[in-house]
Amino acid sequence: MIDADASPETGTWAEACSLPDASMMTWHAPRRVPRGGWQEVWLSDSQSRPSMLSIPDCRRTPATLPQPRVQSNGHADFSIGLTQVVPGGLALAQRTDIPSGRTSWFLLNAPAGTLLPVSAPASEKVVAPFLSDDGLATAWILPVPGTGPPVWEELHIRPVRGGEPERVLDLSRLFGVASYEAIDVDTQTGDILLWSEVPSRLLFANLDGTHRTSPLPPGVKPLSNTVMLSEHGVLAWDAYKEDDNYQIAWSADAGVGSRRIPKGSAITAAALDASGRYVAFSTTTTLNIGSVKDTVVVLQTADGRDVFRRYLPRYSRTNVSFIGQDYFAYSDGASTHVLRVPR
């Protein structure tokens, strides 16, 4: 069943710039909005080449990565790609050696054009790191040796450039035995956000050992990548719905509310304005029949009213992002548009 979305397009926001052959991908990123907001967005072109868009000059900087070479057997010698982005034009890159299957990690600084190796902790289990907000450290969740079943887990914080000792938090002692995921690491304050499944919990811990469970807006069933926090509020949305409408919910200083998405569409991405004034989300049809268009919506957290809405071609699947407190960006399948947010 499909619910028709009859809401009209609204919002005449001035365009700051438009970039052709540029799509805003839904990159893995910290789930806490930096104070003052993100100052850049990450793009990908039709050749899957990543780049960074800086505001307010709308400058596009290529994210230069080593290029694989085809060997005599017809296969590439390695593969490489970005796995996470953080503020300041920094990103985590994963390189896999094709012949051996060995995986290694690098810190990319797109503005500087540098690629720095990231060391991994000693472990029999191969795990992926999570990059801190400032790119100065990586977080690794590893099994505690000699435990299991059930297996205990601990968090290892390692400096990217060395010079400081590794810090370890025993997550199973703090929160109980479960499977954990790091979703935000602030090396300046020592604050760490974690996600735990079964049951789903948003958890806060600090390197000094303090910890607590953080509340989520009611009425939604999020996963680690469908929750977002700022100093002014929290945003969460359904990761999956079988037969019911998807829903997005927020609790911000300016107001508390939720929005049901018309049946037949799912939430592709969402964003929380750094000031807590606005929530943005995009939707894509869940069906391969009909003519349901993608949408981009910005609403006020105070009253849930739409202040911007656009219908896009089917399967645009755009990310959405507030840039600072003055800009908003989305893609339409062919170009990325940066708009000025009215004051």
Q: What is the pLDDT of residues 11-31, one digit of tens each?
A: 999 999 999 999 998 889 999
Is residue 263 domain-resident?
yes
| Residue 2: pLDDT over 80 | no
Domain of residue 82 covers 15-64+75-340
| C-alpha–C-alpha distance, residues 74 and 72, integer Å | 5
Q: Report pLDDT digits (tens) over 176-230.
A: 999 999 999 999 999 999 999 878 899 999 999 899 998 899 999 999 999 999 9
Show Cβ contacts of residue 267 under 8 Å, excluding neighbours closer than 6 positions: 226, 237, 238, 246, 248, 261, 281, 282, 283
User: What is the pLDDT confidence band of residue 1, given thresholds at 50, 70 and 90?
Assistant: low
pLDDT at position 4 is 64
Is residue 1 domain-resident?
no
Is residue 258 domain-resident?
yes
**Local structure of residue 34 (DSSP, 8 states):** P
Q: What percent of the chain has pLDDT over 90?
A: 84
Is residue 2 domain-resident?
no
Residue 258 dihedral angles phi and psi, to the nearest 5°: -155, 165
| Residue 242: pLDDT over 90 | no
Is residue 190 domain-resident?
yes
> What is the mean predicted confidence (pLDDT) over 61-67?
94
Is residue 85 domain-resident?
yes
pLDDT at position 288 is 72
Q: Could you tell me the pTM of the whole model? A: 0.92
pLDDT at position 5 is 75
> What is the mean predicted confidence (pLDDT) over 113-124?
91
| C-alpha–C-alpha distance, residues 325 and 342, integer Å | 10
Nearest to 249 by CA among 282, 281, 219, 284: 219
**Which comes out higher in pLDDT, residue 327 or 123?**
327
Q: What is the CATH number of the domain that holds 117?
A: 2.130.10
Name the domain count of the chain: 1
| Residue 51: pLDDT over 90 | yes
Is residue 270 domain-resident?
yes
Is residue 283 domain-resident?
yes
Long-range CB contacts (< 8 A, 24+ apart) of 45-53? Answer: 45/21, 46/21, 50/25, 50/82, 50/91, 51/22, 51/110, 52/89, 52/110, 52/111, 53/19, 53/22, 53/329, 53/336, 53/338
> What is the mean predicted confidence (pLDDT) over 294-298?
97
**Which comes out higher in pLDDT, residue 272 or 1?**
272
Q: What does the mean pLDDT of the chain come to?
A: 93
